[in-house]
């Protein structure tokens, strides 16, 4: 990592200064399973329960120190808090009331023997809340901006993987429109929330370079702790079926404050070097289409290819006759069909 420039705003400093930790997190197996929607249903619920304990510790600390001058500008639990949303999603998956999900065997088993990375994460947050509450800002930055960015892509994958409709079971990824409190925000709203949060961070930290240095170190610690959570995820019980998937090396992960939104992706200009665009392609495992009639090396055609060709020509003739096309229009359509099946007339 290059030498940090502590003269820049803290939001820029954390974005550039956590790059290596972010890349390392992206390449973890657990992050890949989550991003691609490959986790078994019970394992995904287990991960939500793990996240609930992390957010409960983080947001308890933020609430206790809401008046801290470093934290107060970005303190907005109505807009950002995730604990209640996670409880709602967990209860939906477990088919129990939101008030009783912690009594479910899956939740009790996790709490009775919590994974070491979860214990380390919550212990770190508790220590900061007691001794250095201003450093909770680094953890809030990694978690909240990650949920606002890469979390939105994960939301779509999770919805498809577990058959979720009408956002039920997806409240963790939903942020409300600023000022509304109820209406679900759009991608544009997510962008505005992130911009507001970065400005609020910069306001709370100011030009204190010693504080910036401490926050940068703590943000990298937050990425390491999040990587620990992914390390305890259990591998999918069945290999995933071939599908249109994100590249494992490029997929956004939780804790990713820099992943572009879909709106930004769709508005990006064409690449000046298309031949070098492999790493940016979303589809990574779809073979190129085969020609309609494969020609074997011995120069002959297979029976299947010949029958396919005859069927295509017959269909073309049927469409032309039944469609009432004749003369020049019929000829033009025949040419198009011939081009499609790979012959010249």
Least confident of 23-37, 183-197, 313-327: 313-327
303 burial (CB, 10 Å; 0-12 / 13-18 / 19+) is: exposed
260 in any annotated domain: yes
Compute how many other C-beta atoms are within 10 angstroms of the C-beta atom of residue 112: 7
Q: Can you tell me whether residue 234 is helix, strand or coil?
A: coil
Facing residues of 176 across strands?
184
Q: Give the pLDDT score at 152.
A: 86
- Residue after which a domain boundary falls, among 266, 299, 316: 266
Q: Are residues 19 and 129 in the same domain?
A: yes
Return the structure tokens found at 56: 């409960």
90 in any annotated domain: yes
284 in any annotated domain: no
pLDDT digits (tens, 9 = 90+) for 228-284: 999 999 999 986 554 333 334 344 444 445 444 334 433 434 444 433 333 332 222
Residue 175 has pLDDT above 80, yes or no: yes
Q: Give the pLDDT score at 220.
A: 98
CATH number at residue 188: 1.20.910.10
Q: Are residues 180 and 307 in the same domain?
A: no
Structural contact between residues 23 and 97, judged by C-beta atoms closer than 8 angstroms: no
Q: Give the pLDDT score at 303.
A: 56
Q: What is the DSSP string of 305-318?
A: HHHHHHHHHHHHHH
Q: Are residues 63 and 192 in the same domain?
A: yes
Q: Are residues 201 and 295 in the same domain?
A: no
- Residue after which a domain boundary falls, among 266, 301, 331: 266
Containing structural domain, residue 299: 290-345
Q: Are residues 56 and 167 in the same domain?
A: yes
Return contacts of 125-131, CB within 8 angstroms, 24+ apart: 125/54, 125/57, 125/58, 125/61, 126/57, 126/61, 128/61, 128/218, 129/57, 129/60, 129/61, 129/64, 129/65
Q: Give the pLDDT score at 187.
A: 87
How many domains, the chain?
Answer: 2
Q: Give the pLDDT score at 266.
A: 39
pLDDT digits (tens, 9 = 90+) for 86-117: 999 999 999 999 899 999 999 999 999 999 99
């Amino acid at each position: 990592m290059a030498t940090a420039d502590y003269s820049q705003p803290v939001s820029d400093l954390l974005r550039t200064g956590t790059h290596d930790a972010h890349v390392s997190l992206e390449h973890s197996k657990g992050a890949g399973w989550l991003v691609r929607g490959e986790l078994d249903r019970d394992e995904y619920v287990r991960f939500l329960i793990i996240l609930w304990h992390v957010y409960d510790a983080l947001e308890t600390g933020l609430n206790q120190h809401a008046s801290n001058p470093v934290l107060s500008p970005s303190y907005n639990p109505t807009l950002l808090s995730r604990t209640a949303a996670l409880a709602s999603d967990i209860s939906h998956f477990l088919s129990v009331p939101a008030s009783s999900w912690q009594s479910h065997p899956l939740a009790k088993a996790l709490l009775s023997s919590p994974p070491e990375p979860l214990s380390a994460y919550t212990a770190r947050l508790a220590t900061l809340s007691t001794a250095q509450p201003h450093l909770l800002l680094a953890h809030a930055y990694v978690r909240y901006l990650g949920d606002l960015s890469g979390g939105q892509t994960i939301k779509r994958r999770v919805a498809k993987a577990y058959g979720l409709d009408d956002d039920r079971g997806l409240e963790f990824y939903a942020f409300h429109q600023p000022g509304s409190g109820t209406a679900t925000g759009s991608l544009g709203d997510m962008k505005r929330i992130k911009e507001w949060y970065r400005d609020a961070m910069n306001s709370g930290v100011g030009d204190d370079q010693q504080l910036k240095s401490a926050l940068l170190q703590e943000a990298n610690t937050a990425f390491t702790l999040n990587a620990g959570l992914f390390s305890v995820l259990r591998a999918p019980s069945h290999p995933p079926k071939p599908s249109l998937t994100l590249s494992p090396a490029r997929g956004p992960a939780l804790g990713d404050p820099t992943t572009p939104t879909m709106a930004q992706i769709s508005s990006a200009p064409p690449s000046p070097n298309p031949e070098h665009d492999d790493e940016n392609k979303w589809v990574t495992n779809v073979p190129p289409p085969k020609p309609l009639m494969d020609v074997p090396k011995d120069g002959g055609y297979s029976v299947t290819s010949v029958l396919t060709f005859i069927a295509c020509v017959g269909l073309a003739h049927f469409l032309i006759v039944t469609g009432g096309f004749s003369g020049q229009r019929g000829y033009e359509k025949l040419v198009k069909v011939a081009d499609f099946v790979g012959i010249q007339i």
